[in-house]
Amino acid sequence: MHITNYFDLSVKNNREDLYDRERELAELMEGIQTPVSAVIGMRRTGKSSLINVGLKGTSHIIVDLRGIGPNPSPLAILQRFERAINSTKLNSLWNTLSKVSGITIGSVGIQLSRKRGEYPDLQSVIDMMQEWAEKQGTRFVIALDEAQEARGYKILEQVIAHSYDYNKNLAFVLAGSEIGLLYDFLGQEDEKSALYGRHIHFVEVKKFSKEQSVDFLTKGFRAHGKEPMNIEDAAEKLGGIPGWLVLYGYEAVNGRTDLDLLVDRAVKLVEDEVKRLTARGKHYKHIFKALSAGKMKWKETYNFVLALEGTVSESSFNDALKQLQKLSIVEKEYEYYKIADPMVRESIRRVLS
């Protein structure tokens, strides 16, 4: 008998271990009946778990594109596909794909040629997946996790658009935590994009509300035979981010119940990310400094940055603020801007203090 474990730190595999998300799962299942869908949400909200659980029992691959780009090489993309294809253990799929020039069958699945000029053509790989799916009488789902990492590799965009038009047994699911960059990759409103004007089914994975956070922790502790610990404080301090709530639950059921120590650990986990971001773009450091104190209106934030920098055009400032929204670091709530993740906000405060 499977015991529910909401506090498993790894990507969820079982429906019982994924708290709630009924709406999101239903929308994902609806989405895979369309050519292209996108699962969006900020980091640590559980998009990978949603996809993993939702696609369980379907014919699919999950291609992990984390850290690959931007502007990845064709070989780097193909190697991520190779790894995903081999994880399926589907001999019939491997045999079908071996018809593509540059692909052979090895001891653990397909093997791609690593020689420049002999790489298999990605379009041919996808078209052969269509041939296999059609013969099997099934719908085959190709999920691209952190798809925005492949931005700059226009061939992937073109392959998805071609599949949208011609490969009726295939469905693409694109997931991304840098939401604005994923929108840019999809290019629905960019006339130069291969995907311009095509319908894309969106599934948004949101943070938990305060009530959901409390319920999640309560049920999680009780499934482990524990009484709920510090759940109101944890729900407040961790801001409804499922990843941080899971980490707190995991630590607490293993005897480490100090919430402040958990916050310190979480803040340190994102410290390198914050440092990279701070150095990444013009005005980022001072926008972070402004918003680390709490939410601010546009004019207040601009004036704060202006006071620190002495001179800054409104357009340059606005470009930086919009880019941070695209990265899902800053979010807008009514007329106010704020750092989306409270652990990131605290890390920014410490790094810039």
Looking at residue 246, which CATH number applies to its domain?
A: 1.10.8.60
At 189 the pLDDT is 73
In terms of domains, do 31 and 174 share one? yes
- Answer left, alpha or beta for residue 83, where phi above 0 means left and psi between -120 and 50 means alpha: alpha
In terms of domains, do 43 and 172 share one? yes
- b (16+ CB within 10 A) / e for 121-155: ebebbbbbbbebbeeeeebbbbbbbbbbbbbebee
The torsion of the CA quartet 261, 265, 267, 268, rounded to 10 degrees, works out to 140
Say if pTM beats, i.e. exceeds, 0.85. Answer: yes
First to last CA, the chain: 50
At 116 the pLDDT is 83
Query: Does any domain span residue 293?
Result: yes
What does the pLDDT profile of the chain (353 residues) look like in tens digits? Answer: 577 899 999 999 999 999 999 999 999 999 999 999 999 999 999 999 999 999 999 999 999 999 998 899 999 999 999 999 999 999 999 999 999 999 999 889 999 998 888 999 999 999 999 999 999 999 999 999 999 999 888 899 999 999 999 999 999 999 998 878 888 888 877 788 888 888 999 999 999 999 999 999 999 999 999 998 899 999 999 999 999 999 999 999 999 999 999 999 999 999 988 888 888 788 999 999 999 989 999 999 999 999 999 999 999 999 999 999 998 999 999 999 999 999 999 999 999 87
The torsion of the CA quartet 132, 106, 153, 195, rounded to 10 degrees, works out to 10
Domain holding 285, by residue range, is 271-351
Last residue of a domain, one of 269, 288, 318: 269
At 152 the pLDDT is 86
Task: Indicate the length of the chain as a whole number.
Answer: 353
In terms of domains, do 32 and 177 share one? yes
In terms of domains, do 28 and 142 share one? yes
At 1 the pLDDT is 59
